[in-house]
Amino acid sequence: MNKTVNILILVSGNGTNLQALIDAQSRLGAGKIAAVLSDKSGVYAIERARLAGIPAFVEVPDKKLPKEERRAELSKRILDICRKQNIDLIIYAGFLSILQGDIMEEFKGRMINIHPSLLPKFGGQGMYGEHVHRAVLAAGETESGCTVHLVTAGIDAGPILLQRKVPVPDGDTPGALAGRIHHEEHIAIVEAAAMMVQKILDS
């Protein structure tokens, strides 16, 4: 089958995972990074998309809306974009919003997220960025890593696709640990994206 698997990448920040995917475009097989969407304005991830010539969207629902309504609005806007751009696969690459509603059903099994810990450890509400690495160090863990998993309604709770581990040496710092994990994330996200592209082609 000569199908292109169109990928939407969701971001909220710097976008080094997005960059890893852009740099690995040729290893994604039929996968094509069709669009990038940020829920925050002014983030460098959007600049990365523009530099790579990928259509970039910034969708920031009115901050005065109650949290639930903002979430519903953002979910709806993203689903609209997915339909217009014929998206087949959604990758959360450092995306901090939670989506809900129709998009969850329409993209069930076709949304993945990368998280900087060995889930199910150190996931869930409030566990993002440095919070994760501080918690890992406080718990005296000897290893950490990253996880790519399917997105479901529960935060960081969907079925795990793959994990990559890093050691946590004595005297480690949150910054150093984050750096070590980031390196593994950039490998994991490309591997998981390629896996999903193949799975979608085979389905």
Q: Which stretch binds ligand GRF (CB under 6 A): 11-19, 31-39, 104-112, 160-168?
A: 11-19
Q: Which of 5, 7, 9, 13 binds ligand GRF (CB under 6 A)?
A: 13
Contact criterion met (CB below 8 Å) for 91 and 10: yes
Q: Does 192 bind ligand GRF (CB under 6 A)?
A: no
Contact criterion met (CB below 8 Å) for 61 and 73: yes
Q: Does 97 bind ligand GRF (CB under 6 A)?
A: no
Question: How many whole angstroms separate alpha carbon 104 and alpha carbon 185?
Answer: 24
Q: Which stretch binds ligand GRF (CB under 6 A): 1-9, 12-20, 25-33, 75-83?
A: 12-20
- Residue ranges in 7-57 assigned as alpha helix (H): 16-23, 44-51
Q: Which stretch binds ligand GRF (CB under 6 A): 10-18, 65-73, 137-145, 168-176?
A: 10-18
CB of 202 to ligand GRF, least distance (A): 27
Distance (Å) of CA 203 to CA 22, 110, 199:
25, 11, 6
Q: Which of 17, 75, 97, 144 binds ligand GRF (CB under 6 A)?
A: 17
Question: How many whole angstroms separate alpha carbon 8 and alpha carbon 132?
Answer: 26
Q: Which of 48, 115, 149, 180 binds ligand GRF (CB under 6 A)?
A: 115
State the residue number with the nearest CB to ligand GRF: 94
Q: Does 158 bind ligand GRF (CB under 6 A)?
A: no
Question: How many whole angstroms separate alpha carbon 187 and alpha carbon 78?
Answer: 26
Q: Does 185 bind ligand GRF (CB under 6 A)?
A: yes
The CB-based long-range contact list for 67-72 (8 Å cut-off, 24+ gap) reads 71/97, 71/98, 71/99, 71/100, 72/100, 72/101
Residues ≥6 apart with Cβ < 8 Å to 92 = 10, 111, 112, 113, 114, 151
Q: Does 33 bind ligand GRF (CB under 6 A)?
A: no
CB of 28 to ligand GRF, least distance (A): 17
Name the site residues for ligand GRF (rule: CB under 6 A): 13-17, 93-94, 114-116, 146, 185
